[in-house]
């Protein structure tokens, strides 16, 4: 039997720790969020995974836009402070966005709302895209309640479209705005749930990414920050 030199043992023991290192230098962590990330093994791993995914999208011609988008996300993340649950939700949802970042954008696709909780899922299907607009079908859930809306959105610009409800479809007062941000869509809703054909507390707002199937990781108690 070959014995390993004793001086190698400390290095071997450190390998798992090195593999789980955060995506930033923890010796320089100053904010409550950064300090909590470095203290929590799951958050440390999530930060490393996010750093790797972020590097994958930093390619021309969108590299500068992704950098600006990442700075905005970091500001949102830091508002979590040392709240484990908030930080884990932020990381899980940002990872979903970044991992979908390398596919080319096109309006006609199957879109999914980014939702780490598993409690507010939503699907958006865009089809029949022309220079003037597109047809869409959107469905959303909140607990036992659901909503569904079909309509036509008009393209206000190459990266933005708008749907306005009407009296004929009993959706007067409902307005949905679809805005492209890099690879994902930001959907904004004006008008309450009943105006937009939905049940109590069901809304269509949120960030959506394109995928053949739901890209959200299955939530568990740990990812939700429950001890």
Chunked mean pLDDT (size 10), the chain, 227 residues:
42 40 75 93 95 93 94 96 94 95 89 92 96 96 92 94 93 96 95 93 95 86 51
| Structural domain that includes position 194 | 110-210
> Domain end: 42, 64, 99, which one?
99
Can you give the pLDDT at residue 152? 96
Q: Contact, 131 vs 137, CB < 8 A?
A: no
| Residue 219 maps to a domain | no
- Clarify whether residues 115 and 95 are in a common domain: no
| Residue 220 maps to a domain | no
Q: Which residues contact 39 (CB under 8 A, 6 or more apart)?
A: none
| Residue 223 maps to a domain | no
Angle at 91 (CA atoms; ends 202, 208), nearest 5 degrees: 40
Can you give the pLDDT at residue 28? 78
Can you give the pLDDT at residue 221? 52
Q: Contact, 102 vs 83, CB < 8 A?
A: no
For residue 98, what is the DSSP state? H
Can you give the pLDDT at residue 64? 95
Measured CA to CA, the distance from residue 96 to residue 114 in angstroms comes to 7
Can you give the pLDDT at residue 203? 95
Give the chain's domain count: 2
Can you give the pLDDT at residue 158? 87
Can you give the pLDDT at residue 21? 59
- DSSP-assigned beta bridge partners for residue 134: 153
Give, rounded to a whole angstrom, the gap between the first and last alpha carbons of the chain.
Answer: 44
């Amino acid at each position: 039997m070959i014995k390993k030199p004793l001086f190698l043992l400390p290095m071997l023991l450190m390998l798992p720790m090195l593999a789980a290192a955060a995506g930033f230098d923890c010796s320089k962590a100053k904010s409550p969020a950064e300090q909590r990330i470095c203290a929590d093994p799951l958050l440390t791993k999530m930060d490393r995974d996010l750093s790797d995914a972020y590097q994958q999208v930093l390619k021309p011609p969108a590299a500068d836009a992704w950098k600006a988008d990442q700075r905005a996300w970091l500001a949102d993340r830091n508002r979590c402070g040392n709240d484990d649950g908030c930080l884990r939700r932020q990381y899980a949802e940002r990872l979903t966005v970044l991992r979908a970042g390398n596919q080319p954008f096109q309006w006609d696709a199957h879109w999914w709302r980014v939702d780490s909780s598993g409690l507010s899922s939503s699907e958006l299907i865009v089809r029949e895209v022309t220079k003037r607009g597109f047809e869409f079908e959107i469905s959303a859930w909140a607990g036992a309640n659901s909503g569904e809306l079909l309509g036509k959105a008009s393209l206000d610009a190459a990266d933005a479209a708008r749907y306005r409800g009407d009296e004929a479809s009993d959706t007067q007062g409902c307005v949905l705005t679809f805005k492209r941000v890099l690879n994902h869509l930001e959907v904004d809703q004006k008008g309450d749930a009943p105006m937009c054909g939905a049940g109590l507390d069901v809304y269509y707002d949120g960030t959506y990414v394109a995928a053949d199937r739901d890209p959200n990781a299955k939530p568990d108690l740990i990812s939700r920050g429950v001890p």
